[in-house]
A and B are shown apart, each in its own frame.
Chain A
Amino acid sequence: MPSRRPLARRARPVIGFSVIVLLLLMAWEGAKWVAGDPWRFESFLGTGIAINHTPPFRLTPFNDINLPHVWWIVEEFASVDARGTTTLAVLVGAGLFTLRNAAVGFAIGAVVGLGLAIVIVHVRFLERSLVPLLVVSQTIPIIAIAPLIVIGLRADWLGVAAVTSYLTFFPVTIAAIRGLRAFDPRAHELMTSYAADRRTVLWKLRLPSSTAYLFTAFKIAATGSIVGAIVGELPSGMSQGLARQILTGMQYYTLGPSYLWAAIVIASALGIGAFVLVTLVERWVLRDARPAESGAEA
């Protein structure tokens, strides 16, 4: 039973994640130490230690514009704008707005995606005629189609949700087509021997057998929904979401790169949050399922 594991073992993934993030940050700063701009600090991070270091090499990707110091980004979160609001509060507020659009878009995408898959597995000729069309839909860059949807539909949360669902339905459809066929053929014979109709087979056999496929797709879609919502916000001219903050960060990048990086941090935090949320739901839904082989989780 996963819930009864000792705390030390349950904390292990969190510790592992933190260690990896720490190593990445060290590599980041290490690269700057070796090939970044000169380090000139009179009092390093308020410790009173003066650092005066000139890296032996100079590489453009590691200079202060392209790769600002990690603590500059942290400081950016704490900095206050003209109205007295911290960047963190501004970005988290924008992030929550985007998250709401993403959630609606994810929900629409999941329902439409699953619905399409259900139709496709029941009407055989659709698989060869409709699926290629769905593939084509994904080859059009979302950035090109977003203005069409947002302006054409409505430049509000609904339009943004529509763009998001355009990005999220596809992985759900593809995975669900496989998942809905992943049942044990003998179980299908069993259902046939009970003269079960298609709807009963769908509810009692096909959908329950497809959960592993569905949740894998939901994880991809949930992460993608954040990207979709941001892309959808761009042409809508909405100012409340993360898209506007990212645009601002891009405009002022050469003056201060840390604002864009701060926005990126918030956007990835949203993506991770969406992923974790789906994982938690999956764990709850499959709480009584046969224990997976060790390491087969996630």
Chain B
Amino acid sequence: MTDTVIRSTGSPAGGPVVQLVDVSKVFGGSAGRVEALSAIDLSIASGEFVSLIGPSGCGKSTLLRIVGDLIPATDGTVTVNGKPARDARLDRDYGMVFQAPVLFDWRTVQKNVELPLEILRRPKPEREAKAQAMLELVELGSFADHRPWQLSGGMQQRVAIARALALDPAILLMDEPFGALDEMTRERMNLELLRIWDRTGTTVIFVTHSIPEAVFLSTRVVVMSARPGRITDVIEIDLPRDRNVETREMDRYFELVTRVREALRSGEGGSADASASARVRAEGLSA
């Protein structure tokens, strides 16, 4: 089953889509220095679905923002699609989805999805066709003329996903996208996201608090711990690629959930040794 982890859509010879080498982040000046991230090494192949999980303050959102070049790393190198993260951002290689939908109230649902295409000055017919296609992908085709505030929270988040996919990004960066949704909606959105991921073949980096969500969605789960934020473990999720409601009842699923939970717990009191060995393992897995 492990052969499904790395998708054939990516060019195997092209190297990793995302490559982090010895990345660290320090916030604040000399007085109140906070080491948010320390010695992060991570390599993500094309078509992977990687979840970052860890306690609050472990820097997982910071790490996501560094990959997306929304904030600079203090040290280390971030390579995306073989170029620095900044160039990848300027080339519009990213699609971002935040915890809140961040839709523009003054635009219709359709116009919200068109926003990135407008910024790229794509011609109007192309914009409209693409936005319509993306809305159909998230099954909101008939809501194009609605205003965002007329939609439920789950629907708004689907619009945000449609918007993020409008530019066919190489990488989808998702920062706790379903964290504000109720459990039922969340599970439905998880299935929805897997379906979209399957159809688009995009690489996903997904920040979450939820262990079941991380295990259910991912091909790999990156476990982080706080103060300073570092990777303590990387767990390969060898569940069948074709996941559905029954997946959540498989023995292997429960084993993996337990495995991630234990990794999180040991990370809390984790020593520098543990993080170093985990890093070696992370490199081993991604190589």
Q: What is A's interface to B at a CB cutoff of 8 Å?
A: 184, 186-187, 189-196, 200, 204-205, 208, 211, 288-290
B96 contacts the other chain (CB 8 A): yes
Evaluate contact between A193 and B70: CB separation under 8 angstroms: yes
The CA-CA distance from A186 to B163 in the complex, in Å, is: 14
Evaluate contact between B92 and A194: CB separation under 8 angstroms: yes
Assuming the contacts A288-B106, A289-B105, A290-B147, asked whether A204 and B119 have C-beta atoms less than 8 A apart, the reply is yes
Evaluate contact between B104 and A187: CB separation under 8 angstroms: yes
Evaluate contact between A187 and B102: CB separation under 8 angstroms: yes
Size of the chain B interface, CB-CB below 8 angstroms: 25
B194 contacts the other chain (CB 8 A): no
B209 contacts the other chain (CB 8 A): no
Contact check: which of B65, B98, B104, B119 meets A208 at CB < 8 Å? Answer: B104
Evaluate contact between A204 and B70: CB separation under 8 angstroms: no
A193: nearest residue on chain B (CB-CB)?
A: B96
B residues less than 8 Å from A289 (CB atoms): 105-106
A residues less than 8 Å from B120 (CB atoms): 194
Evaluate contact between A195 and B102: CB separation under 8 angstroms: no
Majority-rule SS of A interface residues: helix
Contact check: which of A189, A196, A205, A288 meets B96 at CB < 8 Å? Answer: A189
Evaluate contact between A189 and B98: CB separation under 8 angstroms: yes
B27 contacts the other chain (CB 8 A): no
Assuming the contacts A187-B104, A288-B106, A290-B149, asked whether A195 and B98 have C-beta atoms less than 8 A apart, the reply is no
A189: nearest residue on chain B (CB-CB)?
A: B70
Give B118 Cβ to nearest chain A Cβ, in Å. 7
Assuming the contacts A195-B92, A290-B147, asked whether A186 and B100 have C-beta atoms less than 8 A apart, the reply is yes
Evaluate contact between B96 and A204: CB separation under 8 angstroms: no
Give B142 Cβ to nearest chain A Cβ, in Å. 18
A197: nearest residue on chain B (CB-CB)?
A: B119
B201 contacts the other chain (CB 8 A): no
Give A47 Cβ to nearest chain B Cβ, in Å. 56
Chain A to chain B: the 9 pairs with minimum beta-carbon distance, closest first: A193-B96, A290-B149, A186-B102, A195-B90, A208-B106, A196-B119, A194-B119, A194-B116, A186-B98
The CA-CA distance from A186 to B176 in the complex, in Å, is: 13
B residues less than 8 Å from A200 (CB atoms): 119
Assuming the contacts A204-B115, A204-B119, A290-B147, asked whether A190 and B89 have C-beta atoms less than 8 A apart, the reply is no
The CA-CA distance from A190 to B94 in the complex, in Å, is: 10
The CA-CA distance from A190 to B89 in the complex, in Å, is: 11
Give A166 Cβ to nearest chain B Cβ, in Å. 32
Give A288 Cβ to nearest chain B Cβ, in Å. 6
